[in-house]
Amino acid sequence: MPIYRGPGGSGDATNDATNQSVIAQNSANQASASASAASTSASAAASSASAASSSAANAASNATDAQTYASNANTYAGNASSSASAAASSAAAALASETASINLANNFSVTASTLSAGASATASYNSGTYVLSLGIPTGATGATGSTGATGATGATGATGATGAAGTAATIAVGTVTTGAAGSSATVSNSGTTSAAVFDFSIPVGATGATGATGSTGAAGAAATIAVGTVSTGAAGSSATVTNSGTSSAAIFDFSIPTGATGATGATGATGATGATGATGATGAGVPTGGTTGQFLKKNSGTDYDTTWYTITKSDISLGNVENTALSTWAGSTNITTVGTISTGTFAGGTY
């Protein structure tokens, strides 16, 4: 078997390549361990929001370490490749048998991908393709920082141009009402902002304390009182007294209502018969005229509406009686029915 003396030692080329491959494997294992540590740090960052920044920094540091180890693995792989190339011409037997050693020198590589925030970090190694695949999650968003201090006040701006003169406002007093004692005084505007009308409500003030007794005044002129008019008012009206004079020379005018009519008194005893009075004038009565045998007849319900009247048979229900004296009556054959005759003399006998 050809022997190659490498610059790093006295071993042959196959052993050097193997050693480099072992170093590369160790680097890959360290990269995997770093990736696992990054996963652990990312999980810690997801479970503790308060330590998110620290965990993310740790994850980033571990990811950096993983990249460093991966870079070292690539470096060692490059060294292995150089050693393998140097040994290629003299180690044909070693290269012919892939099972005799792990061919990491030429094929080993590392890939890294970014996972979503909160995902678990991953690491996998394909022994067939010699590819170490790392999945590194994005760190969780850190908590919002506190509000910054208020900035300094800016400089005062320039004075604006003078505006046009406005319409003069007016103020007027509206209603003034008296509120209850103890209530609050109020003022309200029943107009507008440019034509104000103020309505006031002013409460009655509380009764003040009794003042001190004043000094005795000078003697005044004696007042006079006189009765003025006295009139009779209608029954049921109110009596009134008015002063038609002055406070120092009063003249009282009275109005006294008529009293209500009293109840009828008992009938008094019959008085003595008075003397015969003088003959009065002839009043309306019996009308003049008339003839012997006539009667005075009332014509209507009016007083003294009378006339002289001759009574007829029909007036006394004798309209069917003939005007013939019994002494001259010769009889009649027309009598068919005679009533009861108690006594009398008839032809043929006495009954």
pLDDT tens-digit readout, 265-322 = 999 898 888 888 888 776 667 888 889 988 888 889 898 889 999 988 788 877 777 7
| Whether residue 118 is found in the same domain as residue 174 | no
pLDDT tens digits, residue range 64-77?
A: 777 787 677 677 65
Q: By residue range, what is the domain housing residue 115?
A: 13-137
pLDDT tens digits, residue range 146-165?
A: 888 888 888 888 888 888 88
| Whether residue 187 is found in the same domain as residue 114 | no
- Do the domain assignments include residue 51? yes
3-state secondary structure the chain: CCCCCCCCCCCCHHHHHHHHHHHHHHHHHHHHHHHHHHHHHHHHHHHCHHHHHHHHHHHHHHHHHHHHHHHHHHHHHHHHHHHHHHHHCCCHHHHHCCCCCCCHHHHCEEEEEEECCCCCCEEEEECCCCEEEEEEECCCCCCCCCCCCCCCCCCCCCCCCCCCCCCCCEEEEEEEEEECCCCCCEEEECCCCCEEEEEEEEECCCCCCCCCCCCCCCCCCCCEEEEEEEEEECCCCCCEEEECCCCCEEEEEEEEECCCCCCCCCCCCCCCCCCCCCCCCCCCCCCCCCCCCCEEEECCCCCCCEEEECCCHHHHCCCCCCCCCHHHCCCCCCCCCCCCCCCCEECCEEC
pLDDT band at 333 (very low <50, low <70, confident <90, very high): low
- Do the domain assignments include residue 82? yes
| Whether residue 18 is found in the same domain as residue 117 | yes
Domain boundary, last residue among 182, 203, 224 = 203
- Do the domain assignments include residue 237? no
- Do the domain assignments include residue 52? yes
The pTM assigned to this predicted structure is: 0.20
Domain boundary, last residue among 94, 122, 137 = 137
Number of structural domains the chain divides into: 2
Over the chain, what is the mean pLDDT?
77
Q: pLDDT higher for 331 or 210?
A: 210
- Do the domain assignments include residue 113? yes
| Whether residue 127 is found in the same domain as residue 179 | no
